Amino acid sequence: MTTEILSRIKPLRLRARLIVEGFLTGLHRSPYHGFSVEFKDHRSYNPGDEIRWIDWKVYARTDRFFVRRFEDETNLLSYIILDGSSSMAFSDEKFEYARNLAAALAYILYLQRDAAGLVVFNEKIVVQIPPRASRINLSHIMKTLENLKPGGKTDLSSFKLLAEKLKKRGLVILISDMFLDPEEVISGLKFFRYRKHEVLAFQILSPREINIGGHARVFEDMETGEKVPFDPINLQSEYRKTLDKHIEKIKRELRKSGIDYEKFVTSDPLELALFRFMKKREKLP
């Protein structure tokens, strides 16, 4: 389903569901992992239940199949950190793409009974929804995302405080354009690594940021208001080189710190981002 079609679907929750279900349909095996470890009770075996959950001791005693049921509890805390700064508002589809991705991730985490939380930041933490695996929490996240409007500057220094708050280890997913100095990005995300969180960084870029195009004009920074006269016709190739250098540096430094990095252009399908996420999730308990 294309981003354009998705954007026409107003309720974000429905949008997220469509994304996720479409994505799951395409997979060959179940993406669900884990389940709780706290035993709750037994129930009789029904065809289709996984054999590994059959309690063989009960079978030995009763000669009947029973499967074990566990306490409904999450096994992973996930923090979706969305960049809500003004730069994300560049071209409408960029923030929309990020928002959809955040929603889809929240939804898929919910389906996995993982606890998903949402943090929206600019120069400070704007929204912080603690991770929970409840439906209410998901609704809260969706509603928050739906009403979110980008603004303010990007500043990752608030991540330090945020990292300190996240006591329990979990998965941190950063969705941002990462238009910052690479050092700032690394130092911001390193706080989570110090806390032993797994970190997944999604950089979202608009095609118009990659190929600026058009005649010479003055470009005004969406966050700082700074103005730069620039001739895209003459300087396109140099710009691409500089942008690639910037991306490459972020990627290299993040990987050095054990942070997975993925770059998405808004023209890329969202499923690709989800797939990356699932691959990461597989490695986690």
Partner 1 sequence: MKFQNPGFLYGLPLILLPILIHLFASKLQKKSPFPWVKLLFDVKREGHRRRHLLEILILIMRTIAILSLLLLAAKPYKGKIFEFKNLIVDWSPTARPGIPVNLISRIQRLHREINIFYLLDRLYRDSLSFDLPANFGKIGDIHGKTLVISDFQNSNVGNFKDSTVMAVKIPPSEDYLRILDVRVEPGITMKGFETNVKIFLGAKKKTAVRINLYRKGKIVTGGNFEVGPDSVNELTLRFVPPGGGVWKAEVLPYDGLPGNNIMYFRFPVLEALKIGLVGENRFLEKAFNPFKIKNYPLKVIAIKTPLDLADVSIVFLVNPDINTDFFLRIIRYVEKGNNLVIFSSSIPPAFQNILSFRAEPVESVRVVFAGDTIFFKKALKLEGGTPILLDLKGRTLAIKKDFASGKVLIVGLSPYVDDGYFPITPAFVPFVYHLLETFFSAKQKGLIVEAGTPCKLNPDIVVMEPDGQKTRCAKEYFKKIGLYTADSVEIGVNLPEKESEMRFLTENELKRRFKQLTDIENFEKSVLVSKTFDRYFVYFLIFYVLAESIILGLRFKL
Tell me, by CB under 8 A, how many residues bind partner 1: 35
Decide: is 243 part of the binding site for partner 1 (CB under 8 A). Answer: yes
Residue closest to 271 by CA, chosen among 13, 18, 34, 69: 18
151 to 180: interface string for partner 1, x by CB under 8 A = --------------------------x-xx
How far out from the chain centre does Cα 44 lie? Answer: 38
Measured from the CB atom, the residue of 99 and 197 that comes closer to partner 1 is 99
Applying CB under 8 A, among 62, 134, 242, 267 the residue interacting with partner 1 is 242
Compute CA distances 285 → 34, 77, 118, 168, 231, whole Å: 7, 11, 21, 14, 50
Measured from the CB atom, the residue of 74 and 154 that comes closer to partner 1 is 154
Nearest approach, Cβ of 13 to partner 1 (angstroms)?
28
Give the integer Cα–Cα distance in Å for 123 and 152: 6
Torsion, Cα 33 39 45 50, to 10 degrees, reads 20
Nearest approach, Cβ of 92 to partner 1 (angstroms)?
12
Residue closest to 166 by CA, chosen among 141, 135, 191: 191
Decide: is 218 part of the binding site for partner 1 (CB under 8 A). Answer: yes
Applying CB under 8 A, among 228, 256, 282, 285 the residue interacting with partner 1 is 228
The DSSP symbol for 261 reads: E
Q: Which two tokens stand for residue 182?
A: 């690479």
Residues between 52 and 91 with contacts to partner 1, criterion CB under 8 A: 86-88, 90
Are 256 and 232 within 8 A, CB to CB? no
Applying CB under 8 A, among 1, 67, 111, 235 the residue interacting with partner 1 is 235
C-beta atoms surrounding 163 within 10 Å: 19
For residue 117, the one-letter residue type is: G
Residues between 90 and 129 with contacts to partner 1, criterion CB under 8 A: 90
Residues that bind partner 1 (CB under 8 A): 86-88, 90, 177, 179-181, 209, 212, 214, 216-224, 226-230, 233-239, 242-243, 246
